């Protein structure tokens, strides 16, 4: 029984399933700290995933795929900034619109450029490189988790650490935090909070675009309509839960990754696919209940 | 008219023209990407949104309008009370699934059967919405994420049920058995338009009355303006939250029932999720700035865009997802004109939790 669960594939799938959510959540985290209520991560990821396939197909290499995924994310980030920062639209409304835009654009472009609907796969879609560290070969668990993962996995982990120090010690990190906590203080110190928020949104676009690239061109090399399947919302939940701190965020996401790959294992034991696909959302609700309920009892505040 | 007023009017005209121009340019660019014949595409759009032989497409638009308007009312009733119930999709799916199931078992009851199926769909939608209210009030989970996350269990559970236990094994698709004709919503004579649109119209009148003329309407509106003010003026905010969510969920559930009993006559996996009824309803409600009176107009407008796009796909091979893009762009261009929903400011009101 236990061997069914703890086979090598279990450990390597944790890293694989975690990476897109981690990348997207890092983007959401920067927005959260800068005081931009961005719940459009889902749309960002989806367009990124499509653009990755498009770039990889047209440019004939995974590098162009990743680059065009980033451009897709940046494009939606600019749209978000235009309508939220410049035209002062409500962030929830802008986010809902951008989620629809990401879904609509990715499907529309898929059907008008490649003339297929549903799934697009092609031998010309190049996958992201994986990295092998010969040093780790002899350590069983480390080898399984850290070896032969897509390059974005390592970028995600390094970025988590970098974000921690960046927000804590770097000047721009400080600006971002002040933009979120007290805009006026930032303005009186001579910086423009709108510019800082714009910068945060751009970072978010880049990371969500990469999250999309990880989904579409890391293991599978294909695009499926609506393939983000709610991962952007899980990233939003994780950012809310850890109150925008990178290190707790990392561990929370590992928890989600473990649940995700456990449910894949359980599927192998005969549980229907729909039930296992539902698990991350159930876990999100449970973790939200657990964390919020404790906070809630101490502060007796309600969150509508 | 003073000079300032004139300048202001001129400003608004210029701004509106600029908006219309930008949206048209984007649409033309998208059509260009799809390699479509412009005039063919536009003729297809207009003909299939409001024309067709014996106005058949117009009736399709009306039947879509009923669903979108219903979902818009469901969103509006919650939003105006400051409750960000964006879980309409889950409530819609649960309502549709339950009324398909009930409809199959009450086939012999005639009109009473229809009534039972509709009522159970509404009850199911209300329960699903109350679940998110329960998570918010007693567990401290923000309603925005709580209601949204519940969409996914609704989607996957319904998908499982219609693929395995409730599946019509003779059909190749994951769907329930076809409902017997006795529980179908009647059609208007000579058309394929069912009476669901009348039910939605009744809901519209009901919401108009309770939002403008009753104590509940006044209380829920003041809670939407300021939660803490409503609380310290002695309103039973907890009760209003649950009432509002139950109402919103019941309407969403009713829309699901109408789609099942009136249009598809069975529940097929993804049939209520893929056309994005819930999200279109939300943006329709937002576009009219949560004004109850103009909801049907917004519903018709978005329904026409979506049937028109389907026609463009038939006639000019433009993917019909252009409808989703156009709807998103329209809402983006009007969003700056709307008041703030106050979503970021609400989360710190005191609760009833003692």
Element (H, E) at A60: none
Give the residue from A24, A25, A17 showing the smallest Cα distance to A247: A25
The pair phi, psi for residue B34, each rounded to 5°, is -85, 0
Say which of A97, A233, A278 has its CB closest to residue B283.
A97
Q: pLDDT of A20-56, one tens digit each?
A: 999 999 999 999 999 899 999 999 999 999 999 999 9
- In sequence order, the 6+-apart residues with CB closer than 8 A to the CB of B223 are B81, B82, B230, B235, B237, B240, B241
Q: Does B75 touch chain A (CB under 8 A)?
A: no
Cβ count near A36 (within 10 Å): 27
pLDDT of residue B116: 92
Contact indicator for A218, A16 with CB cutoff of 8 Å:
yes
Split at pLDDT 50, 70, 90, the class of B168 is: confident
Cβ within 8 Å of B, A 128-187: none
Weakest-pLDDT range from A138-152, A173-187, B188-202: A138-152
Mean pLDDT of the B1-28 span: 81
Share above pLDDT 70 across residues of chain A, in percent, rounded to a whole number: 93
Do B135 and A303 count as a contact with CB atoms less than 8 A apart?
no
Helix A231-241 vs helix A8-33: angle between axes, to the nearest 10 degrees?
60
Q: Does A270 touch chain B (CB under 8 A)?
A: no
Say which of B139, B148, B324 has its CB closest to residue A292.
B139
* pLDDT of A301 higher than 50: no
Q: In which residue are the tokens 């261009």 written?
A: B333
The alpha carbon of residue B63 and the mean position of all alpha carbons in its chain are separated, in whole angstroms, by 13
Sequence-distant contacts of A261-265: CB under 8 A, at least 24 apart:
A261/A10, A261/A13, A261/A14, A261/A17, A262/A5, A262/A10, A264/A13, A264/A17, A265/A4, A265/A5, A265/A10
Cβ count near B233 (within 10 Å): 12
Dist. CA A257–CA A15, nearest whole Å:
7
- State the nearest Cα–Cα gap between A44 and chain B, in angstroms: 14
Q: pLDDT of B62-84, one tens digit each?
A: 999 999 999 999 999 999 998 98
A111 lies in some domain: yes
pLDDT of residue A295: 62
- State the nearest Cα–Cα gap between A282 and chain B, in angstroms: 7
Is domain B56-339 classified as CATH 1.10.3470?
yes
Q: Which residue has the higher pLDDT, A49 or B176?
A: A49
SS3 sequence of A72-119: HHHHHHHHHHHHHHHCCCCHHHHHHHHHHHHHHHHHHHHHHHCCCCCE
Do A284 and B149 count as a contact with CB atoms less than 8 A apart?
yes
Counts of helices then strands in chain B (DSSP H, E): 14, 0
Cβ count near B4 (within 10 Å): 8
DSSP label at residue B254 = H
Contact indicator for B90, B151 with CB cutoff of 8 Å:
yes
pLDDT of residue B158: 93
Give the residue from A96, A80, A89, A37 showing the smallest Cα distance to B336: A89
- State the nearest Cα–Cα gap between B103 and chain A, in angstroms: 24
Q: Does B129 touch chain A (CB under 8 A)?
A: no
CATH number of the domain within which A172 lies:
1.10.3470
Mean pLDDT of the A69-78 span: 95
Q: Considering chain B, what is the average pLDDT of its residues? A: 86
pLDDT of residue A23: 94
pTM for the model stands at 0.89
Dist. CA A257–CA A80, nearest whole Å:
29
Find residue A150's DSSP bridge partners: A130
Report the SS3 class of residue A121: strand
Q: Does B135 touch chain A (CB under 8 A)?
A: yes
Residues of B with Cβ-Cβ distance to A281 under 8 angstroms: 149, 152-153
Q: Does A98 touch chain B (CB under 8 A)?
A: yes
- State the nearest Cα–Cα gap between B157 and chain A, in angstroms: 7
Counts of helices then strands in chain A (DSSP H, E): 13, 4
Q: Which residue has the higher pLDDT, B196 or A263?
A: B196
- In sequence order, the 6+-apart residues with CB closer than 8 A to the CB of A209 are A44, A45, A47, A48, A51, A52, A69, A70, A71, A72, A73, A74
Contact indicator for A167, A176 with CB cutoff of 8 Å:
yes
Q: Does A105 touch chain B (CB under 8 A)?
A: yes
Q: Which domain holds residue A58?
A: 8-131+147-299
Cβ within 8 Å of B, A 182-221: none
Q: Does A117 touch chain B (CB under 8 A)?
A: yes
Tokens representing B99 are 């009324």
A188 lies in some domain: yes
Do B149 and A96 count as a contact with CB atoms less than 8 A apart?
no
Helix, strand and coil content of chain B, in percent to the nearest 5, comes to 75, 0, 25
Mean pLDDT of the A180-192 span: 85
Q: Domain-by-domain residue ranges, chain B?
A: 56-339
Helix B295-316 vs helix B196-213: angle between axes, to the nearest 10 degrees?
150
Calculate ∠ Cα B54-B55-B60, nearest 5°. Answer: 130
* pLDDT of B342 higher than 60: no
Contact indicator for B70, B262 with CB cutoff of 8 Å:
no
Tokens representing A202 are 């751009």
Dist. CA B95–CA B196, nearest whole Å:
15
Tokens representing B72 are 């818009």
Split at pLDDT 50, 70, 90, the class of A202 is: very high
Dist. CA B344–CA A240, nearest whole Å:
13
* pLDDT of B347 higher than 50: no
A167 lies in some domain: yes
Count of domains in chain A? 1
């Amino acid at each position: 029984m236990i061997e069914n669960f703890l086979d090598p594939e279990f450990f390597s799938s944790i890293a694989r399933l975690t990476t897109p959510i981690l990348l997207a959540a890092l983007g959401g985290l920067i927005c959260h700290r800068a005081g931009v209520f961005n719940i459009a991560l889902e749309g960002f990821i989806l367009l990124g995933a499509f653009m990755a396939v498009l770039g990889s197909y047209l440019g004939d290499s995974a590098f162009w795929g990743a680059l065009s995924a980033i451009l897709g994310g940046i494009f939606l980030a600019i749209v978000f900034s235009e309508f939220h920062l410049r035209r002062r639209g409500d962030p929830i409304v802008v986010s809902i619109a951008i989620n629809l835009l990401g879904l609509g654009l990715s499907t529309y472009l898929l059907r008008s450029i490649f003339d297929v609907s549903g799934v697009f796969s092609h031998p010309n879609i190049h996958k992201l490189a994986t990295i092998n560290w010969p040093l780790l070969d002899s350590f069983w668990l480390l080898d399984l988790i850290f070896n032969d993962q897509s390059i974005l996995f390592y970028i995600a982990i390094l970025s988590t650490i970098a974000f921690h120090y960046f927000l804590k010690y770097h000047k721009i990190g400080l600006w971002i935090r002040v933009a979120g906590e007290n805009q006026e203080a930032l303005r009186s110190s001579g910086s423009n909070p709108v510019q800082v928020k714009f910068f945060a949104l751009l970072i978010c676009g880049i990371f969500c675009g990469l999250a999309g690239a990880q989904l579409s061109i890391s293991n599978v090399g294909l695009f499926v309509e609506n393939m983000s399947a709610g991962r952007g919302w899980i990233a939003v939940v994780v950012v809310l839960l850890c109150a925008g701190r990178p290190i707790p965020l990392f561990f929370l996401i590992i928890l989600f990754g473990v649940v995700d790959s456990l449910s894949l294992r359980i599927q192998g034991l005969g549980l229907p696919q729909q039930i296992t696909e539902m698990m991350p959302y159930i876990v999100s609700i449970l973790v939200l209940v657990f964390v919020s309920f404790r906070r809630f009892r101490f502060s007796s505040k309600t969150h509508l | 008219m003073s000079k300032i007023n004139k300048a202001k009017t001129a400003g608004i005209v210029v701004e509106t023209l600029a908006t219309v121009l930008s949206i048209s340019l984007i649409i033309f660019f998208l059509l260009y990407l799809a390699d479509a014949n412009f005039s063919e595409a536009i003729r297809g759009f207009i003909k299939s949104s409001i024309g067709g032989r014996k106005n058949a497409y117009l009736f399709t638009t009306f039947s879509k309008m009923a669903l979108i308007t219903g979902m818009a009312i469901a969103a509006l009733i919650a939003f105006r009370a400051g409750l960000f119930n964006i879980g309409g999709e889950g409530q819609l799916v649960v309502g549709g699934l339950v009324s398909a199931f009930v409809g199959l078992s009450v086939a012999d009851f005639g009109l009473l059967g229809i009534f039972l199926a509709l009522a159970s769909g509404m009850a199911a939608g209300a329960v699903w919405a109350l679940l998110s209210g329960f998570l918010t009030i007693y567990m401290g989970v923000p309603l925005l994420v709580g209601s949204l996350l519940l969409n996914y269990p609704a989607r996957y559970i319904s998908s499982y049920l219609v693929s395995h236990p409730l599946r019509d094994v003779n059909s190749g698709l994951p769907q329930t058995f076809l409902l017997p004709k006795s529980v179908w919503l009647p059609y208007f004579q000579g058309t394929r338009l069912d009476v669901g649109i009348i039910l939605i119209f009744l809901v519209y009148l009901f919401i108009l009355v309770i939002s403008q003329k009753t104590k509940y309407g006044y209380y829920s509106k003041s809670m939407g303006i300021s939660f803490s003010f409503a609380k310290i003026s002695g309103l039973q905010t907890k009760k209003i939250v649950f009432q509002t969510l139950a109402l919103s969920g019941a309407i969403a559930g009713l829309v699901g029932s109408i789609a099942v009993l009136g249009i598809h006559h069975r529940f097929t996996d993804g049939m209520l999720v893929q056309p994005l009824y819930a999200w279109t309803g939300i943006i329709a409600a937002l576009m009219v700035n949560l004004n109850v009176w103009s909801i049907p107009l917004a519903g018709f407008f978005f329904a026409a865009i979506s049937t028109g796009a389907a026609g463009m796909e038939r006639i000019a091979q433009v993917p019909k997802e252009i409808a989703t893009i156009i709807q998103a762009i329209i809402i983006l261009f009007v969003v700056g004109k709307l008041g703030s929903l106050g979503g970021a400011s609400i989360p710190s009101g005191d609760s009833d939790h003692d």
